[in-house]
Structure 1
Amino acid sequence: RIVAKVDELMALCDKLEAQQQSRRKLQNNLRLSTLQAVASATSPHELQTTWARLSNNFGRLFHAPEDVADLRSLVLDLAVHGFLTEQSEDDTNAIKTFEDIKAVEKRLVADKNLGRPKPFQPLQENDIPFSLPNGWIWTRLGELAPDFQNGISKRHGNTGIATTVLRLADILKNQISLTEPRDILLTESERDKYLLEDGDILITRVNGSADLVGSFILVNAGGVAYCDHFIRLRFVNELIDVEYVWVASQSPFIRQQISGKFVTTAGQKTVNQNHIGSVLIPLPPIQEQHRIVKRVAELMRLCDSMESQLRHAKEVACRHAISAVSSLTGIAIGQEEEPMKAPQTELIASLRLGAAPDIKVQAPLATILARHNGEMSAKDLWRRFGGEIEAFYAQLKTEVAHGWILEPAPAEMREKPADAVSA
């Protein structure tokens, strides 16, 4: 009888699970088609109609916090299409803004404060992906930033001023996070060239993750330098709202352009100045840039609120389900136990020298191993290498592939001695 009852209840569970999956699939399809209808609007009236349909059905279309990511993408897409704000006849035409930027650029070159910019391919009619509102123009990102350069490749210094240098490790969720800053000595000329200012934009030039390559970081921590894993863009701030450039850079339209320009070097995705500079970007009048930034901020706060509500609803539903099961079975379901305190551990991975590389070959890791009896821990080798951890792993992968370093055995974890933990 127990077996028969369990089989009956499990069949009901299977049916319920299948119904939930079917409902979720239909809901996802409906949400995506509704969002697509808004994104595909070709007139203010059509946009108003499709947006009303979306807003009137938020509860049916959005079920989980992660669903809101689609809405965020839609907001950014509408922003670069000029659908989020109204145009005004009093706004300065973007053609005039572009001409003013070129005039400033020309003056900086004449005063030898800027190198002569590399010209970009002129826009052709078939380059234009969609029409823009009156007063807007199409341009390339490199045309808007007179100052456009890679970061410093220097990792150590013997003389100079101690200066914090941003690394990939200092970027968290596309924002600068200087919780563990690293300083090196820079000369005055290096500081003049590589110090960041508020309002600069950094672009991740190289990273092992394709999601992070080409990401834009709005600088709000001036006075620090930046390493060569980044490209810096500096704008004429009175003519360009850098927050608009950052908003546009998050849009699916620009993200797709950048991801299409990735190249793979030493096993890592990379982009360069030419890739970034050639990206197409819609340029509104400066007054409308300000309005777009304000409107996007308002809608992103709405998205934050929706995510919070959906997260809360999910937690309530979970508690309700637990209560219902407890009531039906008479078995109390315990609360989460206090997390077990994990012991302090360290990673032990030994690297050994393989075939000796040719003297003309660039194999810095194998060279270091050869000087230390052909074997050392990965941690010690990285420290002696002196580079960023991402660069170390890329170089290690290359040298293992050539047989200069033997394929590492699986790493082991061991508990640290008590005195080491306290230290």
Structure 2
Amino acid sequence: MTVPTTTQTDADVIVVGAGPAGSATAFYLARSGLDVLLLEKTRFPREKVCGDGLTPRAVKQLLQMGIDIDAPGWVRNKGLRVVGGGLRFDLDWPHLERFPDFGLVRTRQDFDQILAANAAASGVRVMEGVTVTGPILDDRSGHIVGVTTKDGAEYRSRLVVAADGNSTRLALGMGLHKREDRPMGVAVRTYFESPRHDDDYLEIWLELWAEDRLLPGYGWIFGVGDGTANVGLGLLNTSAQFKNIDYRDLLRRWCKAMPAEWGFTEENMTAPIRGAALPMAFNRQPHYTRGLLLVGDSGGSINPFNGEGIAYAMETGEIAAEIIVKALKGTTPAQRERTLRTYPGVLKDAYGGYFTLGKWFVEAIGRPEVMRFGTRHGLPHPRLMRFAIKLLGNLTDRRGDASDMIINALSKVAPPA
């Protein structure tokens, strides 16, 4: 087994990207005593396209990392309000042993900064305004031993974590490309001054129409609590019309159809309409190769069922950190490599079957007749909707009720993504 020969390092681990995935990874690594360098290309605070809604999965991670969610700016919610087929249901988050029974809203304008500051308080060296351009490879082994930056600097480490998002330069630099057999989503959103800024529920609209076509995706209205609401759309590439849709225009038309008293007008818009890609179901693999680990969006760790990425970004960061700590402490180079190579399998065990179910789900709703049938005939049944909120949110206990057992069993028998 060939391993890197370099001994010069600036850190035990370099983490590239200080979004939720990178900051979580860095936090857990530093808490275990490793020297961590976290490189972020922008400077905080900075904007990020997102719905700003956090499910109980994400809340659990924030609590684990000691984030003060009772501080000003955090808005709690009880669950989801689902709108479609002329019906409206308020569905509370399930009461589970593994997760809290509430969600949160916090804008990405400072959410990522809070997580990066938390990592810094744990001993991580955070450097802002550093754009990583590619990997430094060991001449003999081909392993990554550091990174180059736009300003010509080089930083070296024993391992590198790519947390640089969907367009990850590091993964591309290591020859890892996207898998075309995975779903891809697009999210577009803006903010409005609106009386809808304060709501106990995250509101999801299941019907998105482009003229007479029902599209695979959903709209959302998430109150931010500061006088504004985050309003947006998420769409999937499983629709035949995906490439021909003007997403920003679709959002404008959707908002115009809303009640006038909600104030979703151009005059009340407080931010431009922005969009971002949503890489789903492990669309970039393997998650470990030659000294590089992928976490969060860089490895396509977004839930295909609901487009949620923040929870999985933090969770994959925690998993990666556990494996890195085990690999770097008291092992030979060969043992270290064997430990690191377990990372993709651990991710597949944790999410692979569930993500496959999500892949099948988005392929199904890409057919308008399936989407129409599900909206019109599924919503009127509260018990089915309570099952759906668990399935779509990946919110189950290991030994829970019948719905938990069904979802867990399906995730176990489905081939891993």
TM-score range with shorter-chain normalisation? under 0.3
Higher RCO, 1 or 2 (CA under 8 Å, sep at least 6)? 2
Judging by fraction of residues, say which structure has more helix. 1
TM-score, length basis structure 2: 0.22
Judging by fraction of residues, say which structure has more strand. 2
> Which one has the largest radius of gyration?
1
